[in-house]
Chains A and B, each alone.
Chain A
Amino acid sequence: AQSVAQPEDQVNVAEGNPLTVKCTYSVSGNPYLFWYVQYPNRGLQFLLKYITGDNLVKGSYGFEAEFNKSQTSFHLKKPSALVSDSALYFCAVRDSSNYQLIWGAGTKLIIKP
């Protein structure tokens, strides 16, 4: 079955430190992968996507993600965290059978001053 896993419910990082939010996937064929961010009581905002090409994808607000085919992972990263990065982050992969997105459960990122 096709799926997405975000193994950490919550990640705590000190401001200025690098951050990583993990995502692994299982999908048939070539994966189409996405990261979104959600602030409290708001809709989701698109951060970045991997369709093909370079394994390191750069996105909005200084975020980037590394696609690793052998490990079936697509971890979200940022070199230096800001308090304003605190939010809920979702990883998603396109279902190859119906082209709908399969969502991870989300990871709450807390950046402490």
Chain B
Amino acid sequence: DGGITQSPKYLFRKEGQNVTLSCEQNLNHDAMYWYRQDPGQGLRLIYYSQIVNDFQKGDIAEGYSVSREKKESFPLTVTSAQKNPTAFYLCASSHNQGSTEAFFGQGTRLTVV
């Protein structure tokens, strides 16, 4: 089945720890995105990548890092510098930017304990 897979579904982190969220797609899409979703707010863009080995900061990149070593994979690291990391994180991909619809993973809910 083609699709986009995020793991884990739930993640707990202690304060001061870095954690990495996985995102894999087998849709042969060039563009991939990470969003953060908080209650009552729309999606906020953290990072996006248009092509392998290239990525751009979104609106709320501080405290996050990404890599795009393979077309299929776009992992997100939430670092200890992110002061309020508890949120629902969504990964998405699209064939190209802007004019085509994005496909979303099922999300990872990160909680700081």
Interface residues, chain A, CB within 8 Å of chain B?
4, 9, 32, 34, 36, 41-46, 49, 51, 90, 94-95, 99-101, 103-106
Contacts and interface: CB of A to CB of B under 8 A. Distances in A.
Interface of B: 4, 6, 33, 40-45, 48, 58, 88, 90, 92, 97-99, 101-107, 109
A80 to B, nearest CB: 25
Contacts of A101: 43, 45, 98, 102
A100 B98 contact: yes
Contacts of A45: 104
A99 B42 contact: no
Given A99-B98, A106-B42, 4 more contacts: A44-B90, A90-B42, A94-B98, A105-B42
A14 to B, nearest CB: 25
5 contacts: A32-B99, A43-B105, A100-B33, A104-B42, A106-B42
